Amino acid sequence: MPLDVEKVRRDFPILNTVTNGKPLVYLDSAATSQKPRQVINAVSKHYRKNNANIHRGIYKLAEEATAQYIKSKEIVAKFIGTEGYRSIIYFRSTTEAINAVARAWGDVNVGKGDHILITEMEHHSNIVPWQMLAKRKGAILDYAKLSEGKFIDHQDFISKLALKPKMVAFTHVSNVLGTINMAKEMTKLAHEAGAAVLIDAAQSVPHMPVDVRDIDADFFAFSGHKMLGPSGIGVLYGQEEVLEGMEPFHGGGDMIRSVDFQESTWNELPWKFEAGTQNIEGAIGLAAAVKYLKKLGMENVREHEKALTRYALEKLGQAGVTTYGPGIEDIERRAGVISFSMKGAHAHDIAQVLDSEGVAIRSGHHCAMPLVTKVLGEPAVPRMSFYIYNTQAEIDTAVAALGKVREVLKIGA
């Protein structure tokens, strides 16, 4: 096995939890990941020994906190294949990062009648900000269709690019289907059509090697809490020259160079985008999370999840449930997120019975209502998702619990 999972598991105190009288089987890491003691300790140490506001103090403690905050950005930059802290902006989450681009980039670059292209497999956080921008500006929001409910339809994507969108925004990995999109190829095509590109990397950066320079999109957005880090810290990576050309998103302290009664001038990158006191402990925790993942090796993380996904697809197939997204034959384009359905059982009932067996999965539209309700044609689907601490034995427990769902709901196999 690419990872020593038992060793990894010892780092996650929450995995010792007993829930409903059963050992916790946590299969909801696509919603949020659990945190290792290295991250918990880093945040706690910051509060115990290093807490001070950044940028402002002339004393040693504040200077050290500022240095650690900047160091966190450097660590994150390296992790995604780039260098220096200028292109790393901290927001609250992927959601806030995308909203920032839709406002700070979109308001300047998108006008009446312009097209914005997204896809049918987006999370609400990569739909709604573009809908709002389109409404503000009188622009047109287009969707690249899916083929067989799995992959972005290449021909449809090309035909929508012919409309010369100003922005192409798509998810790297679907949080419902597990599909891994061809980010580099799609970015190249979008750039050739004259568009800027934003990649929602919320489900890719935590789970596989991602090289932002190689993919070459203008923006990447991802969340600390899905990659072992604290909540309330998200990353916007932007190419420096694109960020330079943008207006700030929030106004307030620290993002300015000077303020007069009527006018202000802006600070340099990345501070121009970070108004007010930042989530300093979040940045410290995120750096610890990245260090942890780096030590495991992102290739190993991906291989571990691929093995689990293959195993789970096999077992779920044998259990007679329908799984969505790419199958085992396309495992190279499949991440560790599996939505499924069982004939005769509502998604919430499935999740509830699994919970009674200690198995935590998500059920609903997964903040991707157009995909789940319109493309898959389901009101809701249960979803299991994997991370570095999950085991085949846990998948066995989950699949066995599906047998209990049949028993409780009196459904035949």
Ligand X SMILES: Cc1ncc(COP(=O)(O)O)c(C=O)c1O
Apex 99 CA angle, 96 and 100, nearest 5? 85
Residues 249-308 binding ligand X (CB under 6 A) are none
Sign (positive/negative) of CA torsion 395, 367, 215, 118? positive
Nearer to ligand X, 223 or 267 (CB): 223
Nearer to ligand X, 199 or 342 (CB): 199
| Token code pair at residue 61 | 């403690």
Nearer to ligand X, 123 or 166 (CB): 123
Q: Quick one: which segment of 82-90, 196-204, 257-265, 344-352 binds ligand X (CB under 6 A)?
A: 196-204
Residues 345-374 binding ligand X (CB under 6 A) are 367
Q: How far is the CB of 172 from ligand X (least distance, A)?
A: 8
By CB under 6 A, name the one of 95, 119, 309, 323 that touches ligand X.
95
Binding residues for ligand X, total number by CB under 6 A: 15
Residues 134-173 binding ligand X (CB under 6 A) are 171
* 210, 211, 214, 217: CA torsion to nearest 10: 80
**Active-site residue, selected from the candidate residues 65, 176, 313, 367:** 367
Nearer to ligand X, 203 or 390 (CB): 203
Nearer to ligand X, 126 or 267 (CB): 126
By CB under 6 A, name the one of 72, 119, 223, 278 that touches ligand X.
223
How far apart, in Å, are the Cα atoms of 6 and each of 132, 157, 198? 46, 43, 37
Please say if 367 is a catalytic residue: yes
Q: How far is the CB of 68 from ligand X (least distance, A)?
A: 23
Q: Is 82 in the site for ligand X (CB under 6 A)?
A: no
Q: Report how far residue 315's alpha carbon sits from residue 70's, in angstroms, rounded to the nearest whole number.
A: 45
Q: How far is the CB of 91 from ligand X (least distance, A)?
A: 9
Amino acid at 197: V
By CB under 6 A, name the one of 72, 99, 119, 175 that touches ligand X.
175
> Cα 321 from chain centroid?
27
Query: Hey, which residues does 236 pair with through a beta bridge?
Result: 89, 221
How far apart, in Å, are the Cα atoms of 358 and each of 17, 19, 29, 311, 349? 9, 5, 15, 20, 14
Q: Is 202 in the site for ligand X (CB under 6 A)?
A: yes
By CB under 6 A, name the one of 203, 239, 341, 391 that touches ligand X.
203
Q: Report how far residue 384's alpha carbon sits from residue 363's, in angstroms, rounded to the nearest whole number.
A: 9
Runs of H (alpha helix) within 169-297: 183-192, 212-215, 240-244, 280-296
By CB under 6 A, name the one of 93, 119, 181, 239 that touches ligand X.
93
Q: Is 28 in the site for ligand X (CB under 6 A)?
A: no
Residues 316-345, one symbol each (x = binds ligand X by CB under 6 A, - = not), give ------------------------------
- DSSP letter string over 324-335? -S--GGGGGGB-
Q: Is 239 in the site for ligand X (CB under 6 A)?
A: no
Q: How far is the CB of 41 from ligand X (least distance, A)?
A: 23
By CB under 6 A, name the one of 29, 125, 267, 390 that touches ligand X.
125
**Structural element, H or E, at residue 299:** helix 298-318
By CB under 6 A, name the one of 34, 82, 94, 119 that touches ligand X.
94
Q: Report how far residue 265's alpha carbon sits from residue 29's, in angstroms, rounded to the nearest whole number.
A: 42
Q: Is 200 in the site for ligand X (CB under 6 A)?
A: yes
Contact 186, 214 (CB under 8 A): no
The beta strands (E) that lie in 307-360 are given as 322-323, 337-341, 359-360
Residues that bind ligand X (CB under 6 A): 30, 93-95, 123, 125-126, 171, 175, 200, 202-203, 223, 234, 367
Q: Give catalytic residues, as residue numbers.
A: 367
